[in-house]
Amino acid sequence: MAKLLTFTTNTTSSSCLQHPKFTHLSNNRCIKPSSSQSLLNSRSGFSRVYCSIKEKENVAENERIASIVTGLRVDELGEKLGFENLNWPPWKNVPMRYKLIGTTSLAFVICNMDKVNLSIAIIPMSHQFGWSSSVAGLVQSSFFWGYALSQLPGGWLSKIFGGREILQFGVLVWSLATALVPLVAGFMPGLVFSRILVGIGEGVSPSAATDLIARLIPLEERSRAVSFVFGGLSVGSVLGLLLAPPLIESFGWESVFYMFGMFGIVWFLGFQFVAEDQPLTSSASLSRSQLSPGKKSWETSMEEFGGSLNVPWKSFFQSKAVWAMIYAHFCGSWGHYCCLSWLPTYFSEELNLNLTEAAWVSVLPPLASVVVTSFASQFADNLISNGVETTVVRKICQTIAFLSPAACMILSSVDLGLPPWEVVTILTGGLALSSFALSGLYCTHQDISPEYASILLGITNTVGAVPGIVGVALTGYLLDLTHSWSMSLFAPSIFFYLTGTIVWLAFASSKPQSFKKID
């Protein structure tokens, strides 16, 4: 227990605490401890004066004594009450950027849960409503109409208002629209509209996340941040494909949409508490060495980073690197969206698996992607940290992301008499390796322009959403026409993977570009 010190004056002592409040004392008069009663009875113009007895006593000790209240320090009070180790809320001491990255990744988990739920539910829904493959393809592709339409607005709004605000809006919209699906499923225009709303909500999220990463994360952490956030999509696919079949079998296909929609609403409500102590934006630079607290503060927002409404559109489309990103995004999305939408049906019909088995098998590619994503991000960041040029790293990663699934699809589409489990293994390996794109294409937007990263992703993702509209519907049409999965699903994807690799290697670049100066 700290003691309560009281003092009286002494004109002979020469050691006195030097403090501005004591400069009015003259004749080298100093204060030394005396009895408590003598000071309490004294009213000499000031209430307390603290002085060191020893000449070399540390100033910090005097400050500690100054914190005494009626003989008991506040920190001692906390210890006596058992609160000394209390750390609430749990995220209190987590760095700001990690809070945002973590909650954004969780939002992306829910995002893909709401995206893949229809790929499982479409099977019992088609049986109930008598839909052909073409109609089922139309229903699934309607999501991408809204997804494509919201890309550029999402990027532009994220730049102005900050990715945090736009992400909240997106999650709330797509969650409410997901819960609406069972209510309008029997009315085709209503069903299509609800899926368009889901697409709009999810469409603004990639640009919002890219804006957050570009603002908060230095270059040498960027691959891991992008992989962690967008890797939530793979986790969401796994959870969605695992949870959907038992829910459908136990409670009907409607339960999937109600429950998954509720997850997003809960996230939205919980994020309000997490975001209370988070800044709207930050001033993260291109590399950690440039991050200096004295240069910019966490409170710096729209004035320096996102306040300008002047977007150099002409400069974007004069850049070969931007065009390489656009085409690469289109090619990668063709294979990804078509497989995401049609693989459960392919496994069910082509490999003669029931609904639960098809869903479990469909889990394997995104589950393997989680592992590959962790390795790829570390691989890319280590290369950059060791001095390898960023452009070279991005080209290596994206080439792996394109050629691996192309090779595996070629093996799967050729009639080699392989048993089903070998086909599943091959496709799983190829699609998992396509996750190298998170350390390739998806980092390039931030690399070339942190300021316009969200808008650049909005541009490439708009074009990248076209395969979701055209490719998913075209796959269903070609399947009705040819009755061949090789021709309808694999052949177009292989073509775009190969041509995308050529364009990426020829024109891609991660060198920072000052688009404002070009204009």
Structure tokens given for 352 = 């003669």
How far apart CA 183 and CA 194 sit, in angstroms, is 10
Structure tokens given for 484 = 């061949």
State the DSSP string of 366-396.
Answer: HHHHHHHHHHHHHHHHHHHHTT--HHHHHHH
Residues 244-267 as b or e (16 or more Cβ within 10 Å = b): bbebbeeeebbbbbbbbbebbbeb
The DSSP bridge partners found for residue 31 are 9
Structure tokens given for 142 = 């309607």
**Distance from first CA to last CA of the chain, Å, rounded?**
69
Ramachandran region, residue 15 (left: φ > 0; alpha: ψ -120 to 50; beta: rest): beta
3-state DSSP assignment of residue 15: coil
Q: What is the pLDDT of residue 444?
A: 93
State the DSSP string of 46-94.
Answer: -S-----SSTT--HHHHHHHHTEETTEEHHHHHHHHT-TT---STTTTS
Q: Given the structure tokens 């209370």, which residue do they identify?
A: 276
How far apart CA 478 and CA 485 sit, in angstroms, is 9
Peptide bond into 90 cis (omega under 30): no
Q: What is the mean pLDDT of each run of 10 residues along the chain (519 residues)?
A: 44 44 44 46 44 46 46 46 54 70 90 88 90 86 88 84 87 95 92 94 88 78 82 86 89 94 93 61 41 39 50 89 96 90 82 76 83 88 92 96 95 81 88 92 90 86 87 89 90 96 96 71
Q: What is the pLDDT of residue 88?
A: 59
Q: What is the pLDDT of residue 274?
A: 67
Q: What is the pLDDT of residue 201?
A: 93
The DSSP bridge partners found for residue 73 are 68
Task: Decide: 220 and 471 in contact? Cβ < 8 Å.
Answer: no
Residues 106-137 as b or e (16 or more Cβ within 10 Å = b): bbbbbbbbbbbbbbbbbbbbbeeeebebbbbb
Q: What is the pLDDT of residue 515?
A: 80
Task: Decide: 176 and 194 in contact? Cβ < 8 Å.
Answer: no
What number of CA atoms fall less than 13 Å from residue 46's CA on the CB side?
13
Task: Decide: 114 and 175 in contact? Cβ < 8 Å.
Answer: yes
How far apart CA 447 and CA 396 sit, in angstroms, is 15
